[in-house]
Amino acid sequence: MKSENGRKKIRRLKSINFVLSKYFLVFTFVLIMVIEGVIFVIVNITSEGRIRERLTYIGKEVTMYVNTHNEEEISRYLYSYRHEGINLYIISTEGEALLPLDDVSDIDWGERIEGIKSRLEGYGPGEAVIYEENDIINFVTVVKYGKGSFLVANYSLRILKDSMKLMIGYFIGIGMIVLAIAALLSYSISQRLSSGLRNISTTAVRLAKGDLTVNFANAEYQELADLSDTLNIVRDEVKKSGDFQRELLANVSHDLKTPLTMIKAYASMIREISGDNPEKRDKHLQVIIDESDRLTSLVNDVLSVSKVNSNLAETNKKVFNLTEFLYGIINKFEYLQETQGYNIMVDVDANLYTSADDEKIGQVIYNLLGNAVNYTGEDKTVYISLKSQLNGRIKLSVRDTGKGIAKEDLPEIWNRYYRVKENHSRPVKGTGLGLNIVKIILENHNFDYGVNSELGKGSTFWVDFPSVPADIEIK
């Protein structure tokens, strides 16, 4: 019940879709407002400002012109600014339009003259007032014309204001189109993003339910592609480990069955037939002993693999005398020399010290030596050497005189459960786990290792140990 609530809570989080769309739209909206606002203000201020400047400039020019030119010239001069939209008039103090001549505009100056006078009250010649009235910018000043008159220059802002209104309309239109595009874009991006994630999530659920055929395929965005790749690796690993377990179980059960059958068969045989015949009995008992050994080594290997895998990262290093340690292992093989005529030739430098996990290194040496004994040739000879190298390392070599390993098998022999499909000189008891254990342990230690082998001549397995001074151990 609790987890149900917890899940529901998580579900109520905002979707990528929602969050992305929201921020995208708010951002676009703010951006449009700022850009349009700035443009609007700049256009508004600069155009009005420039008109005022122009009126002032022209007003001053005309004031000077009036002093030095006759009526007709002044009239022409006043007309010359009409194409700019600037109307210039000279008005008498009684409100009578004096210039330009033949003006057709029917402005009632009588009505406006009082306003002009009051604005210019207290102003002398050369001083001007500029003001806005009914969307018209007016420039008024006193000029010396006739008995004294006023110069009025004006410019209608109506066109400008209309254009501004039009511009605002366009701005709103453009803004809405941009917003709509932004909404579409954010929707499609977030849809793609979240649908990619949803695909991965659905596939992952299938994987979690045990479907190992799933394929995480999403290459639209780098991060999602990376995530898919990683999950594909997870799937492969799950598959591998499942395969390995199944294979291990099948092989181990098969390998257990044969020796058990043999043991049972020979035990029955001793009881019923050979019990009284010491020679036959010993032979049959030997088979039982051999098969029991085979069972033991099989069980040991399986245990080692699971142990090595479970504490893969754990390496308890210590400094120890590798020479003595090696002798200790060789001695365990002594019974083979005594009972089965094996020769183990040892060429070992005295007192070589190394730093490693001795228990695990013991397993490595034991497996290599065991293999050499198992696979060596008819001379039943195995050569072991442990030599100090010029580069300050110690090299362990285990050589046999067996059939060797084919080139194509060389990289494979280190894999779990790999056994070369070939008849060896003797029936060989193996599980295909030994070298895999060797590989895991040595890679954990970061030690170099390898094998040189030639078909028909035998194989030499080697391991490269670091050499450390003996006195470290004493401390």
Among 400, 440, 465, 468, binds ligand ADP (CB under 6 A): 400
Please list every residue from 356 through 395 that binds ligand ADP, using CB under 6 A: 367, 371-372, 375
User: Residue 375 CB, nearest distance to ligand ADP (Å)?
Assistant: 3
Is 419 a binding residue for ligand ADP by CB under 6 A? The answer is: yes
Among 418, 425, 452, 464, binds ligand ADP (CB under 6 A): 418
Is 459 a binding residue for ligand ADP by CB under 6 A? The answer is: yes
Q: Which is nearer to ligand ADP, 141 or 431 (CB)?
A: 431
Q: Dihedral sign for Cα 241, 245, 246, 248, please.
A: positive
Among 21, 395, 430, 447, binds ligand ADP (CB under 6 A): 430
Q: Is the separation of the CB atoms in 138 and 153 below 8 Å?
A: yes
Please identify, among the stretches 171-179, 346-354, 412-420, 462-470, the one whose residues bind ligand ADP according to the rule CB under 6 A.
412-420
Residue, CB closest to ligand ADP: 430
What count of residues does the chain have?
475
Is 295 a binding residue for ligand ADP by CB under 6 A? The answer is: no
**Total site size for ligand ADP, rule CB under 6 A:** 19
CA 313 to chain centroid, in Å, comes to 26
Among 228, 436, 445, 468, binds ligand ADP (CB under 6 A): 436
Burial class (CB in 10 A: 0-12, 13-18, 19+), 425: middle
What 3-state class would DSSP assign to 345? strand
User: Residue 189 CB, nearest distance to ligand ADP (Å)?
Assistant: 53
Is 259 a binding residue for ligand ADP by CB under 6 A? The answer is: no
Q: What is the largest CA-CA distance in the chain?
A: 165
User: Residue 272 CB, nearest distance to ligand ADP (Å)?
Assistant: 34
Reported as type and span, the H/E element at residue 357 is none
Q: Is the separation of the CB atoms in 175 and 36 below 8 Å?
A: yes
* DSSP result, 391-457: TSEEEEEEEE-S----GGGTTTTTSTT----S--SS-----S-HHHHHHHHHHHHT--EEEEEETTT
Q: Which is nearer to ligand ADP, 235 or 403 (CB)?
A: 403
Q: Which is nearer to ligand ADP, 187 or 418 (CB)?
A: 418
Separation CA 59–CA 70 (nearest Å): 17
The footprint of ligand ADP (CB under 6 A) covers: 367, 371-372, 375, 400, 402, 405, 413, 418-420, 430-436, 459
